[in-house]
Amino acid sequence: MLYHSTNHNSPIVNFKQATIKGLAPDKGLYFPESIPQLPKNFISNIDKFSKEEIAYTVIQPYIGDVIPKNELERIVAETINFEFPLVTIEENIFSLELFHGPTLAFKDVGARFMSRCLGYFVKDHPDSHRDKKITVLVATSGDTGGAVANGFYDVEGVDVVILYPSGKVSSVQELQLTTLGKNITALEVDGTFDDCQALVKKAFADDEVNKKLFLTSANSINVARWLPQQFYYFFAYQQWKDKDQPPVISVPSGNFGSICAGILAHQTGLPVQHFIAACNVNDVVTDYMQTEKYIAKKSVATLSNAMDVGDPGNFIRILEIFNKEFISLKNVLTSYSISDEETKSVVKNVFLNKNYLLDPHGAVGYIALKKYLQTHPELQGIFLETAHPVKFYDVVEPIIQQSVPMPAAINDLLKKKKQSIKMEVNYDAFREYLVAK
């Protein structure tokens, strides 16, 4: 498989080159030259396959021959060595729980896959990084930071620098990305996620920085983070009882990497009735789906902080899937914007009436799915529960007026001390830090 830039002004590369580069030289995102089609007997017999067999079959066409079969099987197995249960909430609504990995968030899948791919490339192909350590540069609005820190922790030949907006991630999220040390550095930026992402993009475009450091990204702009997110959509379908009526899938959406992976999976042959981009008040895509005009906005802080993105980087890939044909996209995707008031109300009501505790992001996905099913009552749907509620206990506990049970890993985490470097939104200062590092 080869990859082109969404800006169509960079050389074609293979998966290894796209993973190491992260961003294309013309500042576009890498996108597969063709979308592979899965064999129909794979889908019709999906109940017979293991999770590992499903994931390998899905990802292998995107990798080609740059990772040998036995290595790719190992990487896949290590990536998904936890559960992805589909839980009944109502007669026609199901929760796909994606928080059973090491950092209790859906981003564990992409981060674990990418870290193992990059570790393989660095270890076995030292020429790929010009005798320098690879520096993974990543901006986070919440869960990406912890997942990347955990996935890359102590990986030989790789340094990680994580930028996060000060005061705009939950206390658990902050501890997950600031307490590891070793090859993980956290920069606490006095700004928004969009400010953090802008600093990262400027660094990738800076020739002097790139002469001194070999940079790559671990945001979902990186193909090795983005593509494996298809796995959990296939795992959901394997557990889906009514194969004759595929589900509607509602995805809490911030930077749009997860829902883009789901739509890509659908294009390869995964049966899905419709997709819903569930947004908080950061509603640039919701507006686009109504007006066909994409206008980036300054992000607004909400209870569902990992979705506080005013200019979602992966939406360009969704447009690429549909060749920028708006009608084709509208046939597949609907978007709703959900307020904090609605989010709080549904967290409380579902907890009291359904005995199920939503995190603020899953709550947004649930509400958007309910809205869609009100006008499509004959259908059933899945929403993605993207993180364990304990990651947002400081938001959730006042709503339900009781404590969220603490997993042992979180209890241990709360005893650790945050280690971060504070930084203004100033590219010169950020650049100076990187070059000195």
Q: Catalytic: 107?
A: yes
**H helices, E strands: number in the chain:** 20, 14
The active-site residue, picked from 21, 51, 107, 201, is 107
Structure-block tokens of residue 151: 């996935």
The secondary structure of 192-231 as a DSSP string is: -HHHHHHHHHHHHH-HHHHHH-EEEE-STTSHHHHGGGGH
How far is residue 218's CA from residue 387's CA, in Å, rounded to a whole number? Answer: 19
Question: Taking a C-beta distance cutoff of 8 angstroms, is the pair 134, 109 a contact?
Answer: no
The Cβ of residue 180 has, within 10 Å, a number of other Cβ atoms equal to: 21
The count of other CB atoms within 10 Å of the CB of residue 137 is 27
Is residue 23 classed exposed, middle or buried when 0-12, 13-18 and 19+ CB atoms within 10 A define those classes? buried
Q: Reading across the β-sheet that carries 381-385, which strands appear in turn?
A: 86-90, 93-97, 381-385, 248-252, 274-279, 333-337
Rounded distance, CA 347 to CA 433, Å? 42
Distance of CA 195 to the CA centre of its chain: 19
Residues forming the active site: 107
